[in-house]
């Protein structure tokens, strides 16, 4: 019942509000809900069977290609609904066991028969029909080359396969054979798809694989089938009724589907007496259409009852000192509009410029005392020492003055003693003078530094 509610919500999603559509969907949902009871009556020997939850009628011309693995559309299944399909039969040894397993669970499936197999076992094809399963075709010889086969060759494979299955069915072949077709190996090609669409034949790919055509164990087939069904939540399951590993895995698959709350859907083609199940186009899409996706962020369509305007804040709420109400109470329209007609926002009330007269503002601030700008005695030496150019100039002048005075003093004292040597050894005399100048300059520099330190100490 829970899955029935899920199905109804899925079907009703996006339905246009038309009386005939609502009526058709209501009937479909009612048929879905009463299907388990009807099936229980049809399967009295297996009251706990999985059963077939509903029958889905499709129009092949409206939806010519199905299967999420290769196409943009697949069957319009609700969550936890599965369609069972089997390829490559009939092979009596294994296909008959598959039929027995399905009968024990009252499950209906779709079989895609190969023409050569139908020729070899026509009674196997008729067993499918008599058990109420849907019969489709799978070419004549199952060639794994239809993706690069010529159109004429592909037509021959398709047409001969259909003719072979019809021959096995006998008199009522036209009604017993569904216009359903699966390409061998799912090796699709445009020319093949176009031809099948022209014939009104629906191509079935798949939504879920169990890899049962590989050399793997039956446990692995079961694991892959359930894992992939659970990952997708629903879909068309592709199996092979000719494989012994599939025969061994199928009872476990059906039992686990029942335990996990899945439902099997039987698919049949529409006819003049059996119209297609009402659906919406979006239900067939593997991925929802762009217009059906809710974009974010989205403005909600809320309708508020008795919604009045909110009161504007007062100046007392803002607690602005010395605020003037008239400045805030002016309407926005009076503040001006730009040329393009968009109203300008009101002026931000904070920070507010001072409204005091200039003389009042000047009086409220303390004026600096004149003593702050006085330069004490001796500070000029410290100021000279701050600038590198002034300090260098002062050092040069001091050094030159010291050297000149010292040289003149020594020359006046020792003219008789050093004058002769200076006359005969000018280079020697000049080196003495240079060394004296260097030493005196260093002494003068140290003296100026001591004086600067003393000045700073006094100021501190």
Q: What is the dihedral of CA 178, 7, 50, 59, to 10 degrees?
A: 0
pLDDT given for residue 452 in this prediction = 54
For residue 240, how many C-alpha atoms fall within 13 Å in the half-sphere facing its CB? 19
Q: Compute the CA torsion angle 116, 118, 122, 127 (nearest 10 deg).
A: 160
Residue 15: which pLDDT band, with cuts at 50, 70 and 90? very low
Q: Judge contact between 105 and 46, C-beta under 8 A.
A: yes
The pLDDT, as a whole number, for residue 44 is 76
Closest residue by Cα to residue 31 from 13, 62, 57: 57
Secondary structure (3-state) at 58: strand
Task: Name the β-bridge partners of 58.
Answer: 269
CB 57 within 8 A of CB 269: yes
Per this entry, what is the length of the chain?
A: 460
The torsion region of residue 159 among left (phi > 0), alpha (psi -120 to 50) and beta comes to: alpha
The helix-helix angle for 151-169 and 190-198 (nearest 10°) equals 50
Q: What is the spatial distance between Cα 245 and Cα 26, in angstroms, rounded to a whole number? A: 42
Q: Is 311 exposed, middle or buried (0-12, 13-18, 19+ CB in 10 A)?
A: exposed
d(CA 108, CA 426): 132
**Helix H segments across 121-243?**
122-130, 151-169, 173-176, 190-198, 218-232
- 51 has pLDDT over 90: yes
Q: What integer is the mean pLDDT of 3-7?
A: 43
Q: What CATH class does 2-287 carry?
A: alpha beta
pLDDT band at residue 36 using 50, 70 and 90 as cut-offs: very low
pLDDT digits (tens, 9 = 90+) for 274-283: 999 999 999 9
- Band the pLDDT of 100: cuts 50, 70, 90: very high
pLDDT score, position 11: 40
Confidence (pLDDT) at 45? 79
Structure confidence at residue 144 (pLDDT)? 95
Is residue 53's pLDDT more than 70? yes
pLDDT in tens, 301-348: 545 455 555 666 655 555 555 545 544 444 444 444 554 555 555 554
User: Residue 204 has what pLDDT?
Assistant: 98
Over residues 427-439, the mean pLDDT reads: 52
| Radius of gyration for the chain, computed over Cα atoms and rounded to the nearest angstrom | 52
Residue with tokens 């260097």: 438
Give residue 47's pLDDT band: very low, low, confident or very high (50, 70, 90). Answer: confident
Give the residue carrying structure tokens 């049809």: 42
At residue 20, the pLDDT reads: 39
Weakest-pLDDT range from 31-35, 112-116, 121-125, 260-264: 31-35
Neighbours of 319 (CB within 10 A): 7
Orientation of helix 379-386 relative to helix 426-459, angle to 10°: 120
Considering only CA atoms, which of 390, 375, 426, 432 is closest in space to residue 407? 432
Query: Is residue 242 within 8 Å of residue 94, measured between CB atoms?
Result: yes
Share above pLDDT 90 across residues of the chain, in percent, rounded to a whole number? 51
Enumerate the CATH 3.20.20.370 domain ranges in the chain, comma separated: 2-287
- Stated as kind and residue range, the H or E segment containing 447 is helix 426-459
Helix, strand, coil content of the chain in percent (nearest 5): 50, 10, 35
Residue 440: per-residue pLDDT: 57
């Amino acid at each position: 019942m829970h899955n029935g509610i899920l199905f109804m919500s899925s079907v009703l999603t996006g339905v246009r509000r038309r009386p005939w559509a609502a009526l058709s969907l209501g009937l479909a949902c009612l048929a879905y809900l009463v299907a388990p009871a009807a099936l229980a009556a049809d399967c009295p020997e297996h009251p706990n069977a999985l059963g077939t939850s509903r029958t889905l009628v499709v129009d092949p011309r409206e939806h010519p290609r199905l299967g999420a693995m290769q196409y943009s559309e697949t069957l319009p299944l609700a969550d936890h609904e599965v369609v069972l399909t089997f390829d490559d039969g009939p092979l009596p040894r294994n296909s008959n066991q598959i039929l027995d397993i399905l009968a024990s669970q009252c499950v209906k499936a779709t079989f895609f028969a190969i023409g050569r197999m139908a020729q070899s076992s026509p009674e196997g094809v008729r067993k499918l029909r008599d058990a109420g399963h849907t019969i489709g075709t799978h070419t004549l010889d199952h060639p794994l080359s239809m993706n690069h086969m010529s159109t004429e060759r592909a037509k021959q494979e398709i047409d001969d396969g259909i003719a072979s299955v019809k021959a096995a069915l006998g008199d009522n072949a036209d009604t017993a054979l569904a216009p359903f077709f699966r390409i061998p190996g799912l090796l699709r090609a445009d020319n093949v798809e176009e031809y099948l669409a022209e014939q009104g034949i629906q191509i079935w790919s798949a939504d879920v694989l169990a890899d049962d055509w590989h050399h793997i164990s039956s446990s692995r087939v079961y694991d892959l089938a359930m894992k992939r069904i659970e990952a997708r939540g629903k879909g068309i399951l592709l199996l092979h009724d000719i494989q012994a590993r599939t025969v061994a895995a199928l009872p476990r698959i059906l039992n686990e589907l029942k335990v996990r709350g899945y439902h099997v859907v039987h698919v049949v083609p529409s006819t003049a007496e059996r119209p297609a199940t009402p659906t919406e186009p979006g239900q067939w899409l593997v991925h929802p259409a762009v217009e059906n996706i809710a974009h974010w962020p989205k403005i909600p369509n809320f309708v508020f009852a008795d919604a009045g305007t909110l009161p504007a804040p007062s100046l007392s709420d803002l607690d602005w000192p010395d605020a003037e109400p008239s400045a805030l109470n002016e309407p926005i329209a009076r503040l001006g509009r730009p040329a393009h007609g968009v109203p300008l926002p009101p002026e931000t009330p904070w920070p507010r410029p001072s409204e005091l007269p200039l003389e009042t503002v000047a009086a409220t601030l303390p004026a600096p005392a004149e003593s702050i700008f006085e330069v004490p005695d001796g500070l000029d030496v410290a100021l000279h020492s701050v600038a590198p150019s002034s300090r260098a100039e002062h050092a040069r002048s001091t050094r030159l003055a010291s050297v000149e005075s010292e040289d003149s003093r020594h020359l006046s004292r020792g003219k008789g003693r050093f004058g002769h040597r200076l006359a005969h050894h000018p280079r020697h005399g000049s080196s003495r003078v240079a060394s004296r100048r260097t030493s005196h300059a260093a002494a003068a520099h140290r003296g100026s530094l001591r004086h600067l330190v003393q000045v700073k100490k006094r100021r501190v």
